[in-house]
Amino acid sequence: MAPSQNPNGGLTRRTAITTIGGIGLAGLAGCMGSDGDGLSGDVAASGSNTVAPITQVAAEDFEAEYSGVAVAVEPEGTGAGFQEFCQANSDFQSASREITDEEIDLCGENDVDYTHYTVGQDTLAVGVNEDNDWCEEITLDELEEIWQFESDVEQWSDVRDDWPDEDIALHGRDSASGTFDYFTEHINGEMGNIRDDYSATSQTDEIWDAVADNEYALGWGGVGHLRSLQEQDGTLRAVEVESDTDGEFYPPEEEYIEGGEYSPLARPLFFYFNHASLEEDPDLIGSFARFYINNQHGFAEEVGFYRATDDDVVENHDQLDSVLEEIGEDPDELTVERQDP
C-alpha cells in the first residue's frame, strides 16, 4: 500500500489506512485516545523532508494515543530545519545528516543544548523513467561527471557514446536539504558542489513525479518516495550504482544496504531534541521521544525506510535516560515506559 500525502508534504499512512478501513479503524483510533494520563500540549518538529514521513507516523500515533497532544511536523529540509532548531524555535529536529560545525556554532550562540538519536536508515536512489532502456547501471565517476559544478554534460550521449543523443532532464533536491548535502559531498567530493542548471526542489516526491513523466529524465532522492510511486504505477526504475567498496553495481535493496555494498549512497537518519524543551515539559517531550524510540523500527519500515540496529535503539534509550537524569528527572516516571528490542 503506498502512503498518501499529508498537508505538510510528509507521508501519512494513517490517511491511507482510514480510507480503506473506514469507520471501524477510525473507531479504533478513537478508543486509543487518552485524556486520563495527563499528557497534553504542543510539540514542534522541524527538519528533514526525507525523515518527515517517519516523524509524521510517530506524531499521528502519539496523538491517537494521547488526544490532548498536538505534534506539528514541518518538513522544510534539514538545513532550514536546523536554522529553526538552533534558534530554539522547535523542540524536535528530523535530520538526514548530522549537524554541521556551522550549525553547532549557531546552537551555541543561542544556548541550545541537544542530543541526537539514530532512528532509521535511508538510501539515496538514482532513478530513471521506466521507458529508459539504456541506463541500467552507472558509475560514481559518471554521476560526478553529470552533477558536478559547471558540468558540460547536456545529453545522455555525453556520458556514454551508445546512449541517446537526447537532453538529460535533471532533477534533485535543493540546497536546504540534508539529502542535497549528503549527495554533493559523497558524489562530487564537497558539500554544495553541484551544477546550477538542474530542477531543484524541497520535495522528493516532485523529483520522482517529474522523472516518471519524462523518458529522458534522471533524478536522485530518497528511495522511500521512489518505491511509493513504483507501487502505485510502476513508472520509475532505480539504477544500479557502482559501490565504493568493491566496484560492483548494486540496486538500493535491503540486503546490499545491510551488507554495506550499497555505498556511499546509504546513510543513517536522525532526530535531535532541544534539552530546554525537555526541561520545560519533561513528561510531554520525554514521552514523545520515548514513544518514538520504542516504535522506531516499525515507523521507519512502514514508510519505506530501513530500520536502525537494535543496538541503536538501546543506545537511544540510554541517552534519553541520561539526559533526563541530568535535568533531575526520573526516566521511570515518564508516562511512556521504555521498551527495549
Mean pLDDT of the region 25-39: 44
Q: How far apart, in whole angstroms, are the C-alpha atoms of residue 267 and residue 224?
A: 13
How much is the pTM? 0.71
**pLDDT score of 213:** 96
CA distances from 94 to 38, 116, 292 (A): 26, 9, 12
Phi first, then psi, for residue 89 (nearest 5°) are -100, 0
Q: Cell numbers 521507458 correspond to what residue? A: 131
Pairing type for strands 199-201 and 92-95 reads unpaired
Q: How confident is the model at residue 332 (pLDDT cuts 50, 70, 90)?
A: very high
- CA 80 to centroid of chain Cα atoms: 14
3-state secondary structure the chain: CCCEECCCCCEEHHHHHHHHHHHHHHHHHHHHCCCCCCCCEEEEEEECCCCHHHHHHHHHHHHHHCCCEEEEEECCCHHHHHHHHCCCCCCEEEECCCCCHHHHHHHHHCCCCEEEEEEEEEEEEEEEECCCCCCCEECHHHHHHHHCCCCCCCEHHHCCCCCCCCECEEEEECCCCHHHHHHHHHHHCCCCCCCCCCEEECCHHHHHHHHHCCCCEEEEEEHHHHHHHHHHHCCEEECEEECCCCCCEECCCHHHHHCCCCCCCEEEEEEEEEHHHHHHCHHHHHHHHHHHHHCHHHHHHHCCCECCCHHHHHHHHHHHHHHHHHCCCCHHHCCCCCCCC
Q: How confident is the model at residue 37 (pLDDT cuts 50, 70, 90)?
A: low
Q: How confident is the model at residue 27 (pLDDT cuts 50, 70, 90)?
A: very low
**pLDDT score of 227:** 79
List domains and CATH numbers for the chain. Answer: 4-121+267-333 (3.40.190.10), 122-264 (3.40.190.10)
Mean pLDDT of the region 3-7: 34
Q: Considering only residues 160 and 7, tell me which one the structure prediction assigns the higher pLDDT.
A: 160
Are the C-beta atoms of 210 and 169 separated by less than 8 Å?
yes
